[in-house]
Each structure stands twice: as structure tokens, then as C-alpha cells.
Structure 1
Amino acid sequence: MRTAALLTLAGLPALAGAQVWEFRGPAPAYFGQLEGMQPQKSPVAGAIRVVRPHPTDPQVIYLGAVNGGVWVTRDALADEPEWTPLTDYHQSLSVGDLEFDTTDPTNQTLVAGVGRFSALGLNGGPRSGLLVTENAGQTWEPAGLNDLLDRNIYAVIKRGSLLMATVNQASQGAVGLYRSTDSGIAFSVVSGAPTSGLPAGAAYDLIAHPTDPQRFYVGIGGSNAGVYASLDAGATWHNLTRNVTGFSGSTNNVLLSYSPHGFDALWVLFANASVANGVWRIQQPSSLGSLWTALDLPGTDEDGTFIGINPGRQGHIHLSLLADRANSNVVYVGGDRQPTSNGDRGGFPNSIGAMNFTGRLFRGDASRPTGQQWRPTTHNGTSRNSAPHADSRSAFFDAQGNIIQGDDGGIYKRLSPASTSGDWISINGTLGAFEFHSIAWDRLSAIALAGSQDNATAEQIETDSTLWRVIGSGDGGRPAVDDLNPQFSERYTSAQYLLSFMRRRVNALNQVTSVDFPQLRLGPGVTAYDADAAQFYTPVYHNTQQSGHLVFLFSSKVFESTTRGDTVAEVTLAPVFPNPNPEPLEGTPTAAAYGARAGSLARPEVLYVGTSAGNLYYRAAAGGFFALLPEYPGAGSGVRDIIVKPDDWRTVVVCSFTRAYITRDAGTTWFDITANLTDTALRSLAWIPPRPSSSDAHRLVIGGLGGAWAKDPTSGSVASDPWQPFGLFLPKAPVRDLEYDDTRRLLVAGLLGRGCWTVHVDACPADLNADGVVDFNDFLIYINLFTLRDPRADLNGDGVVDFNDFLFFINIFGQPC
């Protein structure tokens, strides 16, 4: 069994005895939504934005995960490659692009561009410019921290001191092409400049000619959409696409790929309104006057209806393009998912033998007649009907001529891509880049389970293992675990829109003993689904005090079940005379706290619910009505999470996207406790009570953009007390959810891009070598990290390693164990 290995770059062990976050997986999760990879147990590992195989060594592959940072493997030909994260502790793990600098003959110089491309609403970390390494990823230096701040980097190129980056979205500054000639110290905006020839507008793919260091190509969207060429290293540009039809103001993705073999050929694939709308090729583009030739649109006939490569309409992020490296007539394209039969209105199999919503991938040949130019590289285009995960994002050849693809399930290899005798295989190995949006913890068996973007719900196979298994398919819903019974727990899981809602009874050995599918019956012949629309990720909460009780937050209504989900009743506001109908809640219900205590007395009837409108409601009696808490100060900003003090139902903490508030009298008076939390995109709360008969303080932990922070919520100065980073060495991916196990004194975090992590809350914070004491050896470990300016030495989480971090360590070094 593989288990977590933390801090491998520094040669340090997994620190179960220190207050250090430990990786719990998945790395990978088995039984994912793949086809033909059963011998490998169909592994998935999370969304990959870009793959970059080493130009000459087939063992080495770099990749950029959508929200999981840059990784490398140096044994890519192994059955299960070992992957190493390279940028876990830099400011952002959201990768837009990753490229080799071909002026470095040792192939050790790479540049990564930071951008948000998650299928979960483009969520991610801060847009912080570029990262550059000159030693194969051992260390990285930032570039463009000022000129590229808050710009979404789509593509990037480095050629010595020349750096160029394209920006397709920006919360400040312009979109378009940025250029630096001083190694990234300063960037200027080329797009829209009077003499540049490049129009203003969103910029997409950017590629270099393979042998001419002065020639580059860029794809532009919007009203001036097209492909532009530069013959002077990006200073000036010329429109190449005068005869190309299909570009429009709705063009929101443009991909480029170059084939230098036989004759120069430049390929373009573009999407309008997120649907692939054209594949064109131009021969000898250096002449600037050459004309383009259109290929057929790739796709299949599904019982009389043509379906292209984006039946899921996700071409703004789910497209790939790769020119063949040996034949300039041949190109490979990828889209989002397979369609069903009958024009995507039927079932499986479809026309090419697909049995699931897997990858949509084709090989095109411009030398073939119209109507015969495309063949699938999946399903009946393979030897065993194989296909990778849906949602292709990147494709590149490795040194052996195989295609390496990144998609929303991980990284996969197509053997012998020019023939139907090859197949798709996984090379996910130990890669761990899952985008978790929610997490649950089973205290009985010490097993984590989580809802993920694009990779269903997953759960640990064994306690402490980084190996997980996928439950269901599609996008994973928000899980819940009722573990109040000492003999068994009940795990509730679903897909998007609460589809396939399932209840599994599991014993302490993590063995499933029964499986049911609760119907949420609201009355005879009526379910909650009939009364209201489920949310895409419908929040589900189990009662912390009474087994079998659940709450479901639908689009506008709240449903309570006292029968383990079999039946439900709506919880409403009281009617206002003379209207006999209950008043509706304002906004979509987004968060709840269900069940509380008053000292030793259980209060299972207590229910707090917050909405997207920033309203907070409270129910005081079982079967009673909601009451609006009008004094809650967060109106207008959606509620993200609610936590109740474990022994006092009147003390409640609520967080919105940017603020946190506490009440100690059930909502009559409130205190803003946000203090020093700024730009943190707050998401989740956990309350850690002191150990019994100890002098420990309470700790309130809040998770958000790039970390988890804590302070004492019972302090008289809680409003002004600063938050401190909680635990050491948590990757800088967004913390989307927190769960606390008071039995094990263990905090569990779900990260958007780096999976599941845990920390022992009572461990010695400064015991870095996990020997049970804080001594000079721990001091030496930190001094080594600090001297190297290793990002892990940034203990106060401000994005820089400086003397303040040293003082922070001295403070925790002096704390008793």
C-alpha cells in the first residue's frame, strides 16, 4: 500500500507527530470514467491543463495541473510513474501554460503561466504572473508580479531574455499579448499598440516557429478574431487569416500547432460560443500571403445528426490540437465528451462504440477527400475500445512518438497514434491533483470521502492510504457521513444535481454492508425533486446530534429528513396573514449548521441556514418555522459556511466570501472577526475545542484562497485578533472544505487541485523532524529552508520569505509540547 510522503523535496519524512499537513490522496483514484483501462483499474488523478514531455528523454514529462501546480515524473515509462509536485508552496497553483525555453540546450529552463481554467466556474488561486525555473524545477522565480498581476495567462513563451504571454481575461489591466525583453522585469502590452499591427482583444494560443527564432503566431478572439504572425520576435504582427471564415465576435478559444515536416504547415482550431467551429491549415505561412484550406469539422453521425467534438459546449476550455510530427497533412484534435446515440438524445453505444461519456478525440488527414478526413483515435479506432477521460485540454508528442494527453481525469498516453492498433493507457501513477469542492470524514473507520469536479465522488480505500476509489460518475455531489452510531456509519453520496443519491451502511472495517437509494419523498407520488430544482452541487448535512436526520438545500427550498432521506418535509418561514402560504427564503440556500448542544444537553432541532442573498435564518423547534435573523451584518454577500460552538448553540460563526462574523447570543449581536484576512475567498469553517481538562484555547479555523488560518473565537478581543496560518506546509491551492474529528483531534481539508490533507491539531508546531521534541535539530531544518528562500519557509503566508517568517518560527519554537 502506498502512503503519503510529505516534503520529499527537502528529504523530510511525513510528519505525523508535528503540526504539519499531510497528504492523504487521491494519488490516484481507481475505477474512474475511462474505457478500456480495466487492467490498470481505470485510474484518474484530477484535471490537467498542459502536458510537456521532455524533447529527447521519454522518461521525463512535466505537466501543469488546472489547480494543482507544476509536476514532473522521471520514470514515465514505468507502469505507475512517480510524480513530484514542484510548486506546491508558491503563491498560486493555477496553471495556464507551461513551456520549455528552447534556447537552453540542457532543457532545464521552463516557464509557467498562472491562469484559472477550472471547469468549476474558472475558480482557482490568485493570478500572480509567471514562474521561471532554470534547474529543471528545483527552484522557481516569479516574473511579471506587477505587470501581469490579476491577468489570466493563457499561453507563455520564453526565448532567453524574451518573454511573451497571452491574457484572455483580466480583473485589472488589458487582455491581449504582453511582451518583455528583459527576462520578465517589465512587460508592455502589444495588443492595441499603435504600431504593433495586433488588435486589442483577448489573446489565446501563442506558439513559436520550431527553427526561426524571430517568428511567432498568436490566436486572437473577439471582433478581430484570427491568427496573427510576427517576423520580428513579437514586436509587430500581421493578420494571416483573411480568407478564413467562421471567426466571429463569439470566438472564445483559438488553438495553434505547427508541423515543419514535408512543407511548413500551421494549423488552427477555434471555438465560437464554446463549440469548435473550424479546423484550417495554411501552407508556408512565412510568406504572409498564403491562403488557408478548411478541413471538414471533426465529429460523427449519430443516427442522422452530426455531432462535433463539443457536445458538452465546453470548447472555451476543453479543446486540444496537435500537428503530426512526421506528416504535415495529419493533425489530432480533442474536445469535451462523447455523445450518445440518436443525436445525443439516446443511449450507448454510439456510432463509434463509446459506452460512456469519455474523451472525444480524432485524427484528421487533409490529403483525404472531403467527408472522409476524420477518424476517431478512441473506441473503434483502437484495439480494445479504449478512451481516456473526457474534456481534453492538451496534447503533445513524447520522444517515442506517442501522444501524451492532459484532460480532466489526468494524464494519458496514446500508443501508435497513427494506427488503429494502439490504445490509450494511464500514466497517472502517483499524481494527486484532484479538485475537491467538498469533503466528509467517517470517524468510525477514519476514512475521507470527497466530492470532486469532473471525477465523481471518491473515498479512501484504506485508512491513511493515498489510494482512493471513485463512486459513481460525472461530477461528484457534496457527501455527508452520519457516524453517530458506534456500530456503523451511513455515507451519503451523489452526482451533480443530487442524481444517483445513495446511502451506504459501512462498518468500522470500512466494509459496505448495505446500499440504498433514498427517494426524498415529499408526499404520495411527489419528491423533493418535483417541488424544487436541486442545485448543481446540492449541500447535504447530517445532524450532529441525532442519527438519521438530514437537511438538503435545494435551489430555493430547504428539506429536512428524519428518515435517512427516504422522506422529507420542507422547512419554511411562517405564513404572513392574510397569505396562507409560507414566505419564500430570499436567495438560494447555500450553507447550514444542523444540530447543536447546550452544555451537556443535545439540541438536534437547532438549524441555521444562510443564503446567496446574505440572509441568515434560524429554526428553534423541531417541525417549526424559520425566523430571519435581521441583525446579521452580512446581508448582500452570500453565506459560504456556518459553524456552531460545540457546547453552545447560541455561539455561531458565519463566513461570506470576504468576511467572517460571530454571535454569542443566537444572532442578536454580532462582531466582525475578519481582521487581517483579505483577498482570501473564504469558504469553510471548523471549530476545535480544547482538550478535556486542559488549559488549551478554543481554535476557530477558516479555509480559503491558498490556506487555512486560526484564532481563538472566545477571546475578548476576537474582532481585532489577527488570524495565523494553521499548521505548516499546506499547498497553496484553495481550501474549499474543512472537517474536524474530535476523537482523533484531526482536521481534514479538501483542496481545489491538491486533494485531501490532514493535520493533528495538538502536535508540536515546530517539531519538524517528528521526534517528539522541539530542539536544535528542528531549528536547523527551518534555517536551511529559510536560507534557501524555500517557499515553505513562508510561515506567515504573506507570499514572501523574510524576517517576519523567522520571527514566526521563533515564536512557535518556544511553544511547549
Structure 2
Amino acid sequence: MRGPADREIEGQVTSPEGGETGRARPPGGKALLRLLSLLEEAGLNGQAEATLQRVLSPEGRAEFRARAARFTVAPPADLGAGPPGHPAPFTGDTQGGGGPAIAERYIAAAQRLGPPTTAGPQWRCLGPWTIPNGQTYGASRVNVSGRVSAIAIDPRRPDHLLCGSAHGGVWESLNRGASWAPRTDYAATLTVGALAFNPSDPRTVYCGTGEGNWWSYLGAGLLRSTDGGTTWATLCGAPFTGQGFYDLRVDHADGQRLLAATTEGLYTSNDGGVTWTQRRSGAHWSVTLAPPGAAAELLVGAADGVYRSVDGGVNWAADALPGAPASWNRLAVAIAPSNPEVAYVWGASGAASYLYRRAAGSWTQVASPPGVNTGQAWYDWFLAVSPDRDTQVYCGAIEVHRGDLSGTTWTWVNLTNKGTSGDSIHPDQHAIAFEPGRPDCLYVGNDGGLFRSDNRGLNWQHCNNGLIISEFEYLAQDYGSSRWLIGGTQDNGTQRWSGAAAWEHVADGDGGDCGVNRNDPRRVFHTYFGMSPERSESRGDWGSWAGIAPPVPPGEGSAFYPPFECSATTGDTVAMGGDALYIARNGGAWTRLVFPSAARSSALAIPDADSVYVGTTDGRLYRSTWSGTAWSGLVALTPPRTGAFLSDIFVQPSNTRRMWVTSRRVGGGRVFRSDDGGSTWTDCTAGLPTLPINAVEVDDRDPQRIWVAADLGVYQSLDGGASWTSFSNGLPNMFVGDLLFQPHARVLRVGTRNRGVWEIPVDGWMTRPQCGVQWSGNLGPNAEGRWFTHSWPATWHVVWTVMPTTPRPGAPQVSWTVRVERADAERVTYWMTVKNLTPQALTFEGRYCILSRY
């Protein structure tokens, strides 16, 4: 989704509506930048290179590398050489083994988690249940959720839908998408690439894990449901472990015959998916079958072209296309359901798109839809033919284009971006399905969720209520409120939560890191990708943002989502890290601090207004301090692990010698503690899964109690990192990207990809009120007095009672009123005016009852 920062990466602007115009985006687009950065951070550089080889042509790879240098993990070489161990991009996995070995590590970690138990506190979901006002490329707005990668509709019950989220699992609806329930939260992986009902017995449904478009390396095999998609179990791991599914088909005539198109090949099964035979190698994106009762023709779209089979998928022969390129970045195929003699091919190679139609046994090239952009064809691409018309075709890319053939003339309509009139939906299209028996009713899945049209795409209705699959990158909080968060989401902008199930969309574009001023929570910050911070003075209200970008010199880069922080305790210091560190104090101008040698920021901590710590993508750690008039140059601390991407830093405000850092780089320590301000480090990784660690939080009441977030799960230590246990009770097996602790409400929160935001009461919810005596007083006959008690957290719900301590039955003895003063952004003072209603002197107690800390 485009935002204000996109020109930085595109180098040119798009159409006035923000839609597709030729080659405005770089090859692979922002999606590829994000994916390769994620892989590089974890040291999976071999997987990054394999992905790049698969999705782009040699020319596209060269152009991508040139543009990506400003956003990759390693800073550009022309900024200077890093220290020994500085990672070079795409040079081999630190763990080796490729996709299967990576997937096995995640599968092993998932086995340690599992379904909820009744022991201890449990996580619960905060949504977003839906997000109104979501961004489109047209004038209209729409409710959104998150990235949908697959759709399947029950062939015998059209109101029964299954929806696959990229990393949010399988979801089921029994009312055409009006409401949803998650069905695979505790499977070995929540990555979904393909879904398919058995047409002859829809009680059987298959799910190909490992989303081919993105999360391919997390594939854990094939899942099967025998009750229509409500419960699932792993059917097979091999040969799909570490592979991503693009397509999955069940033969109409034989429900035991399945075909799978994956990142590594084309496979067939003749026993209902239990065992598989690889028929072709290399990336295969799309499989299509002739309709029931027709000749048993199969077509597949692969990296080396279109292939045809007439023996159930055992043997395949090339089906030549006139004027076709030698290789493809994406290729989709579709046989017309109403006429098996007609078929279509929709492909992308480099900057060009290709559309072919087969009739009377021969292929003819057709002019592509106008304005199609192929820059993200590897990521968002589909093809479908209307069930009842062999002359109507739907081509998905960034937008959905419908083509109608009349005679020899094609008419094209952009269905998803209506410009200044009509309803639009979110861009970046991944999946399409038609309701059985209603060819005018179709569903599409994209980066904004699931949408339905009842008139062949002319009008749309969102199906995103209860589809909780938003992809949060970062979170920030108001410490004075237990029900206020702001977070950046992938391709869906910045969202705000104030206690309701529906979150508020407060900024467009890509949502990056966020911050809240702890002294004045009306002042909040959000970022896009790149060095693009904005500030609001009204808690992030829509339209209240103003750009405050630091003065970044030409050619200087950053991580795709650079770290941004506000002071963790007092003060108004903010910082943002790119290839230099930028600090602003008390709303003043930015100060630029240069690294001693080339480095790229990856993590920040500001324990107080006078100290800033920055970690880098190659494991270095620096500190700058405020002298009273200026910020010091960056002082190097001892690296906890050379060459390891630092993902988070925590510096204890009450004792800045105690520090924690985490790393996403597998193959070594990923959680470290220093007790001497960063001079020496203790590796505290033992007991954690062999996965990237993304964030760390520390209990403000007990510095020995630590929580860390991994790619799967949250883990707790009660002994300063010496040992760890899972703290994931009730948390789905999902990617946990960010971690926040609300000290007053005593809740821990996570932002996930793609299962929204979750929270857990770290000590359990209060099961009974906590009561006590706070003060005592006395008053003379009929006198009135005033008492106060201060520094109570504003998040707490407290009831006050004044109770006489000398029994005098027969009539009321005291009356009192309670008034609340907001002492600061986080705490309140209670003022109690007490009146003695008797003619005698009176003693009494001021008693409190805490009903909730939340």
C-alpha cells in the first residue's frame, strides 16, 4: 500500500489515484524488501538469495540490489567497512540446511507450545476485530483486516467459507464471511499457502502450509480436515517441509488424486495426500483441471513455462506460447469451467505482462489490462475464468482487472480501484474464488483481507468482521491508560486502540515503529518505512499528523522499518536510527550522530531523557549522553555477539548498569545481560528455542523477571535469565514481533503477524478486591476536614470509604466526598473531604478497595 514515504523507494510517482502505472515500483516491490530483510536479520542469507533467484529475472535482481542497498541489513559499502564479522548480504545461512532445516527448527519450537491449559494466566486477543476506514487506491474507504493468501468455498454449502491467512492460520465462516472462527491456532505452523475441498466429499479439506508468496521456508507439510474445516491434523510433513504452497487441487473425478504446486516443484498424490511423487522441479505457481466430465486435461504454470498433462499428472509436455519469454517471474493458468476448449495464461516476466487465450486448439496473445504493474508479480498474482463465461477473465496483480471479450474486442475494467467514484478495495491481490451456483458472486483475498462482490466485481462488501489477522510490526502505549495502544501494521497503516473491538485507522501507508511521550501522552509518533517519522499532538487523531523527518543526507539509508523510541521514563527525548543516529530533545531540532564506522541501526533504548543507546545490524552497541548543552559522540560498548543483528535493547531506568539485548541472528546467543553497563555480557540464551528473538521486557517490580518474544512464542525467566519457561499459554503458534509491558495494569502485550494483538495478566487477573486502610484521622464535634493520598496509578479502579472507628449506633456519624486530581500522566491523587455528623469528637479510617488494576 502506498504511503507518503513511497517516493523514497520508487524514485518516481504513480498515477494520480495511486494505482498501477507501468514500472513505478522497483522489481519485487516493498514486499520483497521486507522479506529479504527479515531473512537477513536471522542470518538466513542463503534462503534470501534463493528467494531472489526464484522471484526475479537476472536484470530484475540487478536493479533490485541497487535499490535495496538503502534498506538491507548491511549498510552500503560506500559508507565504509564495518568491523570484522560484519554481515554481507546473501552470503549463506549461518545454520545451513536451507528451507527444510529452518522449518524443522520452527516445528520443534511449536511442539513446545500447544493448546491452552487451565494452569496459570492465559493470553487473550485484543483484536483488531475489524479496522474501519482502511486505505484503498480509490476515493472510498473500506474495513480491513490483514493478508489473505487462500480461499476455499464448500461446493455443497455456499455459505461455508474457509480463508487462509499468510501467517494467521485457517479461518472458518458459516455465513458467507459475516463472522469467523480460527481453526488452526495450535498447528505446527500458521502459514497458509493453499486450501482445497474434495469436490466429491467436502467433509475432507486440505491445507498446504508454507505460504509460497512469503513464508515458504516455514512450510510444515499438508494439513487435513475431515469435518469440513473445523478441526485439522497434519497429514504429511515430507516432502513439503520447508516448502511453500502456491496451489493445491483435488481431482473432480477422483478425490484421492491431488496436485500441489510449490516453491520447489509439482507433486501428485494418488492416496488422498498421504504420499507424494515429485513430477517436476523448480517453482510451480498454478494448476488447473478440466471441468468435471471433460477430458482429463491438466495445465500448470511454472518458471520455465506452461506444461500440459493428459494422464493425471504423471507426464508433462511443454505447451508453447507464441512470443513467450524464456523464463517467468510468475505464471498462472486457468481452464474455462464452462468450456474446456478455452484456457488462459496470465504471466509476468521482468517489467512485461503477458495474457494468452486458447481457443480451437491454439494459443493467441491478448493485450494485457492497461496499467498493470508487474513489480510484485512474485507476491500478488492470480487468474480466474468466470464459471459461466469463457469470455470473461479476472487477472489479479496489485489490482484486479476484469476482461470481457466480445467478438475480437476486449474491454477491461479495474475492479478494485474505482478512482474518484464507486467503491474500491485494498490492493495486492492473492486469491480468488467463486460461490458455487452463483457465477456473479466472487471473493478476493488481498493484503487488506477478504472481500465479496455479488455483481462480478462492480461493487464490494468486506468480509473482515472478526477476521483477526492484522500484521503488527510495532506497538507503543500510554502508560497512564490500561486501554490505549498504537501500532504499525504491514500495508495497512497505523492503528489505535482505546478499548473497543474495532481499532481506529489513524494513518495510511506502511505502518512502522511508534512512540508515546510518557510525560504527555497527547504527543504520539508513528513512522512509515524509511526515515519518515510523524508527530501528533492529539493522541494520533486522523489528520493530525505532521512530518518531523530528520535531515538525512542524500544516499544515507536505514532498515526498512527503522527503530524509533521515546524516553522510557521522564523527559521528551526521542531518537530514530538509520545509518546515523538522530536525537531530538524537548521538541527541538535533530542532532545527527555518526557511527565510528559504517553501521545501520536496528534497536534503540532511551532509559531517561539524558541517555540514548543504539544497537546495529552487525551486533555493535553504542551510547550517547546529554552533557547539559549537547549530545556526546557515540561511545562504543562491548558487543554482546559480533556480527549478530540486535533486535531490542532494555536498560533498567533505576539501574542503568543492568542491560538486556536480544538478537534475531540464529546460530549463537540471542539473549544477553550486562550488569556493568555494557562492559561484559552474560549469554542467557540456554533454554530458549533455536529461533530469532525479537523483543525483551523486564518487570519493574522484579528485575529478575524477564520476558522475551521469539518468532514463535513468549518466554519468561524468574532468575535473571538463568533459565526459561514458556509463557505462551493460550497464545497461537504465531510470529511475535513486538512486546510491551504495562506496569500499572500488570499486563504484557504482543504484536503479531498475522494474528493481531494479544495480552496476558502476568500475575493473573484479580479474582477478589484488594482492600486495606490507607490513613486515619479525627475530627472535633461537627467539624470538617480534608485528607489526600497520592501516587495511585491512574489505571486502577479504586473505591474509597471512610469508616468511624468508635461505634456509636443510632445515627449516621460521617459523610465524605472523594475528588480525583490527575497528578501527572500516569498517577492520581485522591482528595477526601470528611464531615463529622456528631456533636462528639470522632476518629475514623480512610479505607480503599482496589477493584481492578486494569
| TM-score band, normalised by shorter chain | 0.7 to 0.9
Tell me if structure 2 keeps the 8 A contact 1:96–1:113: yes
Q: Give 1:675's match in structure 2, choosing from 680, 683, 686.
A: 686
> What SS does structure 2 have at the residue aligned with 1:72?
strand
- Range with greater deviation from structure 2 (93-102 or 255-264): 255-264
> What SS does structure 2 have at the residue aligned with 1:501?
strand
Aligned residue type for 2:315: T
Q: Give 1:710's match in structure 2, choosing from 702, 709, 716.
A: 716
Aligned residue type for 1:656: S
Alignment of 1:412-491 (within 5 A): 412-417=451-456, 422-445=458-481, 446-460=483-497, 462-463=498-499, 465-485=500-520, 488-491=521-524
Query: Deviation at 1:243?
Result: 3.3
Tell me if structure 2 keeps the 8 A contact 1:481–1:492: yes
Query: Deviation at 1:48?
Result: 0.6
**1:689 and 1:727 mapped to 2: Cα distance?**
20
Query: Deviation at 1:184?
Result: 3.5
Query: Deviation at 1:618?
Result: 2.5
- Residue 112 (1) aligns with residue 211 (2): no
**2:736 and 2:700 mapped to 1: Cα distance?**
21
Q: Provide Cα deviations, 1:137-163, integer angstroms capped at 9, x if missing partner.
A: 222111331321111222223453333
* Partner in structure 1 of residue 54 of structure 2: none
Decide whether aligned partners of structure 1 residues 712 and 322 sit closer, same or farther in structure 2, where only a CA change above 3 A counts.
same
Aligned residue type for 1:277: S
- Residue 547 (1) aligns with residue 576 (2): no
Decide whether aligned partners of structure 1 residues 267 and 619 sit closer, same or farther in structure 2, where only a CA change above 3 A counts.
same
Aligned residue type for 1:469: E
Q: Give 1:558's match in structure 2, choosing from 581, 587, 590.
A: 581
> What SS does structure 1 have at the residue aligned with 2:688?
coil
Alignment of 1:232-381 (within 5 A): 232-240=311-319, 242-249=320-327, 251-262=328-339, 264-273=341-350, 275=351, 277-283=353-359, 290-299=361-370, 307-310=371-374, 313-336=375-398, 360-369=399-408, 372-378=410-416
* Partner in structure 1 of residue 671 of structure 2: 660
Decide whether aligned partners of structure 1 residues 377 and 520 sit closer, same or farther in structure 2, where only a CA change above 3 A counts.
closer
> What SS does structure 2 have at the residue aligned with 1:269?
strand
* Partner in structure 1 of residue 249 of structure 2: 157
Q: Provide Cα deviations, 1:34-84, integer angstroms capped at 9, x if missing partner.
A: 37796xx6211111111223324332221111111111111127xxx1111
Tell me if structure 2 keeps the 8 A contact 1:296–1:373: no
Decide whether aligned partners of structure 1 residues 758 and 116 sit closer, same or farther in structure 2, where only a CA change above 3 A counts.
same
**1:70 and 1:237 mapped to 2: Cα distance?**
32
- Residue 502 (1) aligns with residue 591 (2): no
- Residue 190 (1) aligns with residue 279 (2): yes
Q: Provide Cα deviations, 1:616-673, integer angstroms capped at 9, x if missing partner.
A: 222355411222223x241112111112235321121211113222211122222222
* Partner in structure 1 of residue 643 of structure 2: 636
Alignment of 1:136-155 (within 5 A): 136-155=228-247
Q: Give 2:698's match in structure 1, choosing from 684, 687, 698.
A: 687
Query: Deviation at 1:708?
Result: 0.9
Query: Deviation at 1:292?
Result: 0.9
Query: Deviation at 1:334?
Result: 1.9
Q: Give 1:700's match in structure 2, choosing from 706, 717, 732.
A: 706
**2:297 and 2:762 mapped to 1: Cα distance?**
52
Query: Deviation at 1:415?
Result: 2.6
Aligned residue type for 2:523: E
> What SS does structure 2 have at the residue aligned with 1:31?
strand
* Partner in structure 2 of residue 783 of structure 1: none
Alignment of 1:47-62 (within 5 A): 47-62=147-162
Tell me if structure 1 keeps the 8 A contact 2:749–2:759: yes
Q: Provide Cα deviations, 1:770-798, integer angstroms capped at 9, x if missing partner.
A: 899xxxxxxxxxxxxxxxxxxxxxxxxxx
- Residue 31 (1) aligns with residue 55 (2): no
* Partner in structure 2 of residue 131 of structure 1: 223
Query: Deviation at 1:166?
Result: 2.0
> What SS does structure 2 have at the residue aligned with 1:762?
coil
Query: Deviation at 1:729?
Result: 1.1
Decide whether aligned partners of structure 1 residues 512 and 271 sit closer, same or farther in structure 2, where only a CA change above 3 A counts.
closer
Aligned residue type for 2:277: S
Tell me if structure 2 keeps the 8 A contact 1:82–1:430: yes
Decide whether aligned partners of structure 1 residues 295 and 512 sit closer, same or farther in structure 2, where only a CA change above 3 A counts.
closer
Decide whether aligned partners of structure 1 residues 149 and 123 sit closer, same or farther in structure 2, where only a CA change above 3 A counts.
closer
Aligned residue type for 2:590: V
**1:516 and 1:364 mapped to 2: Cα distance?**
40
> What SS does structure 1 have at the residue aligned with 2:571?
coil
Alignment of 1:716-731 (within 5 A): 718=722, 721=723, 723-731=724-732
**1:124 and 1:649 mapped to 2: Cα distance?**
41
**2:634 and 2:662 mapped to 1: Cα distance?**
20
Aligned residue type for 1:44: V
**1:139 and 1:308 mapped to 2: Cα distance?**
39
* Partner in structure 2 of residue 804 of structure 1: none
> What SS does structure 1 have at the residue aligned with 2:152?
strand
**1:216 and 1:470 mapped to 2: Cα distance?**
47
Tell me if structure 1 keeps the 8 A contact 2:531–2:549: no
- Residue 84 (1) aligns with residue 203 (2): no
Query: Deviation at 1:220?
Result: 4.4
Decide whether aligned partners of structure 1 residues 377 and 592 sit closer, same or farther in structure 2, where only a CA change above 3 A counts.
closer
**1:331 and 1:518 mapped to 2: Cα distance?**
43
Aligned residue type for 1:441: Q
Scaled by the length of structure 1, the TM-score of the pair is 0.73
Alignment of 1:739-750 (within 5 A): 739-750=740-751
Aligned residue type for 1:404: Y
Query: Deviation at 1:15?
Result: 11
Query: Deviation at 1:736?
Result: 0.3
- Range with greater deviation from structure 2 (50-59 or 438-447): 50-59
Query: Deviation at 1:216?
Result: 5.6
**2:340 and 2:289 mapped to 1: Cα distance?**
16
Decide whether aligned partners of structure 1 residues 512 and 674 sit closer, same or farther in structure 2, where only a CA change above 3 A counts.
same
Q: Provide Cα deviations, 1:285-332, integer angstroms capped at 9, x if missing partner.
A: xxxxx3212211111xxxxxxx3244xx11111112110111112111
Aligned residue type for 2:446: D
Scaled by the length of structure 2, the TM-score of the pair is 0.70
Q: Provide Cα deviations, 1:493-548, integer angstroms capped at 9, x if missing partner.
A: 13233447132333xxxx95994525356xxxxx3466844543222100112332
Aligned residue type for 2:566: H
Tell me if structure 2 keeps the 8 A contact 1:92–1:706: no
Decide whether aligned partners of structure 1 residues 92 and 229 sit closer, same or farther in structure 2, where only a CA change above 3 A counts.
same
Decide whether aligned partners of structure 1 residues 157 and 646 sit closer, same or farther in structure 2, where only a CA change above 3 A counts.
farther
